Structure 1
Amino acid sequence: MADLSVEVERGEGVTTVRLAGDLDKLTAPGFKECLASLSDEGRFDVVVDALGLEFCDSSGLWVLVELQRAVGERGGGLQLTGVHGVLRRVLDVTGLKAVFDGVLPAQL
């Protein structure tokens, strides 16, 4: 399995988090820590760009669902962009697509 690269861009009001690699049981805890630090900064409007994501298992998906819940409780929101591959199929099959404020597919 590949590592996960997380790039954070703090903009005016919206924070973009770009993922590349694998979001799985090995990398999900580090990703969760990164998101917790954004929450500590008061950043509750988040866009997760998954275009570079090669794989996402249930551990990674759960981190995204937890993030959606946490930012929603604070009046923010989570949008997923660049969704493709395994993540797109899992969101479609499970119906979790509706949980997020927006899910934009990759335009490949």
Structure 2
Amino acid sequence: MDLRVEVERAGGHAVVRLAGDLDKLSAPRLKQRLVELSEDGCHALELDAARLDFCDSSGLWVLVEHHRRLTALGGTMRLSGVHGILQRVLDVTGLKAVFYPMRAP
């Protein structure tokens, strides 16, 4: 299944809904869309992965790379709706802490 990317934007914040497969074929398209958003001043992103069926290392790298980009710009990026293989990969690699930072009580 191909990747579908839906963006709901309000000023400098956007919710990016992902559906389908995030893999080596679709990762460049997602990267381009995320870069376009940040270049347009959108530095607070929520990536909703609830309908994401698959994510390989290419897709994971796009997420990590864009997180770094936004952090360098003073922005934020978090994931929501994570499940399945993406959840397992985030747990095993320790990247869960990157996308779900601990909040002060």
Runs of 4+ deviating beyond 3 Å: none
Contact 1:6 1:31 survives alignment (8 Å): yes
Please report the TM-score for the alignment, with normalisation by the length of structure 2.
0.92
Which residue does 1:20 correspond to in 2? 19
1:54 equivalent to 2:75? Answer no
Contact 1:20 1:51 survives alignment (8 Å): yes
Residue-pair matches, total: 102
RMSD: 1.4
One-letter amino acid of the counterpart of residue 48, structure 1: L
What residue ranges of structure 1 are gaps of 5+ in the alignment? 103-108
What residue ranges of structure 2 are gaps of 5+ in the alignment? none
Which residue does 2:96 correspond to in 1? 97
Identity of aligned residues (%): 60
Mapped partners of 2:52, 2:28: distance in 1: 16
Which residue does 1:106 correspond to in 2? none
